[in-house]
Amino acid sequence: MPVDALIALAQEGLLLAVTVALPVLGVALVVSFVVSLLQAATEISDATLSHVPRLVAVTLALVALGPWMGSRIAEFAARAFTLAS
């Protein structure tokens, strides 16, 4: 495999990693922001209250987006193995 093709494949893999992770991280960010606003408004500073909603939201996002994420990764892997052979 030529070096240029290997570098292009590595760049595509890194971009795929960001693309796949971004929706789940976005959900975690939004939920954390909403919980922080609620904690500031109600002056409740319980550590469990900040972690449990984020955990539930990220789990639901992974369940909802899992098939899409898996198909994108599988397509990339198939393309990488085809180029490698």
Domain ranges of the chain: 3-84
- Write phi, then psi, for 42 (nearest 5 degrees): -100, -5
pLDDT digits (tens, 9 = 90+) for 11-66: 999 999 999 999 999 999 999 999 989 888 888 877 778 889 999 999 999 999 99
Angle ∠(9,15,16) on CA atoms, nearest 5: 85
What is residue 49's predicted lDDT score, i.e. its pLDDT? 80
Distance CA 42, CA 64 (A): 31
Distance CA 31, CA 35 (A): 6
What is residue 85's predicted lDDT score, i.e. its pLDDT? 77
Q: DSSP letters along 63-78, please?
A: HHHHHHHHHHHHHHHH
Q: What is the pTM of this model?
A: 0.80
What is residue 19's predicted lDDT score, i.e. its pLDDT? 96
